[in-house]
Structure 1
């Protein structure tokens, strides 16, 4: 790497409407040793009491079946990133409002193919200092990189932003939350809150690492609202103006629109996902029982660019209506005839509502099936 520090310009070769399942057509860039990396983002990993009860076994807890229908797709990605919106705070385990999930939950998440977890969210302090620190220790023991909460300022200084190095790429990952449900972080622990001065310092620090792209995962927005609020839009504009390439959002517990933006001054295109929705939860109100997985393939030769991107809808099936023991993430493309009537109907409603929202408000970002 050269000593000259700059943010690499990201150039899109074509619209992100290109689906992933189609074969690529070779172009002249392939002769210049094109490097590729696929990133996948999933929304809120929740763990309500009914989920904990459903996963209980005679010897502990088993969550493997929850991810059985998405594991193959997640594992295809070079780097899969999820928002762990619970603590691994130890016993007594519990759901809302003080989330603490069994360690087996994280074991299953890793086994499903997830590589990195974002931790800065409004539930990261649900079990206080002990819960925050134990969560970090469990992830470290599993060798799962994480970003957003830290044992102390020294750890934050050395690990923030998180630099992901794979396939010849350097991806700088940032993560911030709007708050922690009025719970105060206890020293020496650190939580990345949305503070523009702090974020600006982190962006400058990220640039010094000479990244190919900088991605900010933001825990923001208004719960249960399908449209982004003014603060989200303003902050997204600010992040892009100060050097962030892509912004991926969580927290509202419903999906929100996605955009591909073009910056004519810097000749850059930016991906903006306002909310990925819920990935796995016991939320049952309309629009809260599912979410999306968002995938982008970044290529690098003479330029760095997003070659393809898109979203895939997923929905959570609950034991009460599926007749199965555990909760399970169901892809939108799953055959409806394999589901009980109630489950098939709720899946249909979630997919219909989400597709209508995206068809109306998405900008150049399409759905893909797996």
Structure 2
């Protein structure tokens, strides 16, 4: 396996050299394993093990579009706040052969004060949880999509003794990895533990039973969809079990989303959050098709999109749209990809950079009407730290990127980073502030430095 992988990686390096500019930019493809041709599979391999793509599609103005985003949310003088709710969101909780209970004892230590302070703490559960089967993780050298399964003990890490993640999306490309029974077992497991979820279902009625989480009088509805099932089709006659919409294509039918938003509003939801598994892997920018799809999803009446799947962080967008159900102009938030949360890609350097966000929702009175709107956004850049300790031991931990760099600047290096690793941390910081969250997005205070002076950076 190692020799085969080494040969493939060398071949992809040479291919990238000869193709040059053609392998430097995002391409307008679907990225759906079921429909990939050989060229797309080679392109995926190149992005995965050689070099992640940091340049958007040529000639589309995508980089400039995100660079000019203003991610501050203004309430206006006429809005009188009454109640607030905080949603904190992280990316994908996957299964890996290199991540297990024994090396994640301090998994959350660096970010728990921020991430677990939300009233609703959500993430994408990107693997079935079937306790009767052995755990199966993504290997360090991955040549194809494995059929993964998360252990009960790793799930215990996610929920952190009841103080951690408390809402799970289950619609993703691994939803059917353990088959129909595995999907049912996962839902039974979550229900037995008392954790709400959305994205997969046992029945048509359950698919349409949109979960509402009420905190401080504010009702937030969650919906979830995946663009792919890793080459599988939805179960014939039971398509309701997996919320599948080919979200990376521009003209897909969104009637399922429209139906679910309508149900959520009929259940008096003040805010609708869509957790989407979409976009292209190992690419810093979403392609034009995905951006257009994000706008279409919002125009169904969705207030917030929390995106995942690309294994890297992607930019955010404040999008003004007309809500056809509430019949008013609104400002929504699209996070195209939060990146990883508990996952590991050894050969993808940019996959070590991700983010956790905190979204403030406020109920207030404006011109005599009571409404709920997004009033603030806070962002925590994170670094996925994995270290081999020798004698078969390792450590996996999520680090606060800016705190880590501040410590290094003050000659504190508790994680034993080498000079090369420190250089890489600084590169990832530049990537984040140049492409994921440009300095104009949140406004600057004080002397305008990026360390702690961006209004939305924690």
Distance 1:178 1:88 in 2: 21
For structure 2, the residue ranges without an aligned partner over 5 or more in a row are 1-69, 139-145, 246-252, 366-370, 444-453
Distance 2:130 2:118 in 1: 29
Match in the other structure for 1:172? 221
* Residue 127 in structure 1 maps to residue 185 in structure 2: no
TM-score by length of 2: 0.68
Given that 2:71 and 2:441 are in contact with CA atoms closer than 8 Å, whether structure 1 keeps it comes out as no
1:200–1:263 distance in 2 versus 1, CA, 3 Å? closer
Distance 1:206 1:154 in 2: 14
Higher relative contact order (CA 8 A, sep 6+): 1
**Post-superposition shift, 1:349?**
2.7
SS at match of 2:107: helix
**Which whole-Å deviations, capped at 9, do the CAs of 1:58-99 have from their partners, x for residues lacking one?**
xxxx74421222222222111111011111123321113111
Q: Once structures 1 and 2 are overlaid, which stretch shifts more, 314-323 or 233-242? A: 314-323
Q: Once structures 1 and 2 are overlaid, which stretch shifts more, 64-73 or 108-117? A: 64-73
Instruction: Pick from 112, 120, 136 the counterpart of residue 94 of structure 1.
Output: 136
Given that 2:299 and 2:322 are in contact with CA atoms closer than 8 Å, whether structure 1 keeps it comes out as no
Match in the other structure for 1:299? 362
Distance 2:243 2:440 in 1: 29
Match in the other structure for 2:340? 278
Distance 2:134 2:164 in 1: 27
Match in the other structure for 1:213? 271
Distance 1:308 1:252 in 2: 25
Given that 1:263 and 1:269 are in contact with CA atoms closer than 8 Å, whether structure 2 keeps it comes out as yes
* 1:99-118 equivalent positions in 2, closer than 5 A: 99-111=148-160, 113-118=164-169
1:359–1:82 distance in 2 versus 1, CA, 3 Å? closer
1:252–1:155 distance in 2 versus 1, CA, 3 Å? same
Distance 2:182 2:319 in 1: 39
1:251–1:328 distance in 2 versus 1, CA, 3 Å? same
SS at match of 2:106: helix
**Post-superposition shift, 1:245?**
1.4
Match in the other structure for 2:14? none
Distance 2:350 2:201 in 1: 33
Across the aligned residues of Structure 1 and Structure 2, the Cα RMSD in angstroms comes to: 2.7
Distance 1:289 1:106 in 2: 21
Distance 1:367 1:123 in 2: 36
Match in the other structure for 1:81? 122
SS at match of 2:356: strand
Instruction: Pick from 296, 313, 329 the counterpart of residue 267 of structure 1.
Output: 329
**Post-superposition shift, 1:352?**
2.3
1:367–1:331 distance in 2 versus 1, CA, 3 Å? farther
Higher Cα Rg: structure 1 or 2? 2
**Which whole-Å deviations, capped at 9, do the CAs of 1:116-171 have from their partners, x for residues lacking one?**
010100011111112212211221121110000112223223x3x22111110111
Given that 1:311 and 1:367 are in contact with CA atoms closer than 8 Å, whether structure 2 keeps it comes out as no
1:322–1:239 distance in 2 versus 1, CA, 3 Å? farther
Instruction: Pick from 395, 404, 409 the counterpart of residue 326 of structure 1.
Output: 395
Given that 1:322 and 1:339 are in contact with CA atoms closer than 8 Å, whether structure 2 keeps it comes out as no
* Residue 340 in structure 1 maps to residue 416 in structure 2: yes
For structure 1, the residue ranges without an aligned partner over 5 or more in a row are 1-14, 19-25, 57-61
Given that 1:259 and 1:273 are in contact with CA atoms closer than 8 Å, whether structure 2 keeps it comes out as yes
**Which whole-Å deviations, capped at 9, do the CAs of 1:261-291 have from their partners, x for residues lacking one?**
2348943111111111111212131211231
* Residue 287 in structure 1 maps to residue 350 in structure 2: yes
**Post-superposition shift, 1:176?**
0.3
